[in-house]
Structure 1
């Protein structure tokens, strides 16, 4: 199992950013302590996605933070990213693992214990579980109960992060669950001070896990 620090996982959202402000926000978040970054570009063509991925990777590499590409295995391979995250309607985990080989990171979304076990058996390194709260992103989400999150964490030996509308004020709902960390979008991407937002979130996650 790969040694991943999943404490604070930033998932990007370009819908309210120029490319310049997106890169600035990612850099500030890295300064603030995010431990993993996923570039998520739901509406970008392959060339645009790749160009942006290379720019983001320059930033994450400086901070020694793994870059995960959402959905696009080809973009991940072309830019030399650390891995890929796939959702339930993307390529199957087993196929992504076959293409990427054993050394890169493969993450999967899981909303049920059955899906979590299948993802683990097919080669996933970690799970994203949610949405814990309704989100403001353009991604269609279905709520996941904290009890389900807890059951998923206990059902598989790979780390699981909670995702979906989480912020500094509402993440207390996760207290007591054996999560590896939280994944956030708006709490950092929409923050006036992304560096401080990341730092505060990381502190709260570490306090909660102890």
Structure 2
């Protein structure tokens, strides 16, 4: 089991590997749709593609809808974010150039953004196995999850925190796509909090 697969299981439970796979497809779909909209506009300005940020947040609601996880509105934000296993999952297009790094970009630009980093896990809703994506876990993965849950002090409470999907893209291409836990630091910027992963490369457990 590679580190990214293990981290997805630890963070989001049995559907973590599915989320890991679907994030790339979801971001690529929004990128392609935004490119088409920009081309159709025939505008010299790229403001049409710039609406990517609204579209990707809407698309990420599917992770809550598909998994029966709550969708939470941080502060007075006009959007909702899925809380899977008590962990918030939020996509952020932080740059348009291929050399962008989240540590150099201001994140806390609104009360809603700050609230995103302060969401606390509540009781994790038990998901009814009705129409959920098949997690397709191996026996090894199921044993790993069982051991992990047995070690938790309270299995009804998720581990909390914010998992950021950091997107660097423009009409010219999808330049980078990473995910991992983040923490807000002085100055309103973010740092990766431990493990983070490039999702544009091949995933070891990705179906062929």
What TM-score range do you get, normalising by the shorter chain?
Answer: under 0.3
TM-score for both structures, normalised by structure 1:
0.27
Structure of larger gyration radius: 2
Which one has a larger percent helix, Structure 1 or Structure 2? 1
TM-score for both structures, normalised by structure 2:
0.27
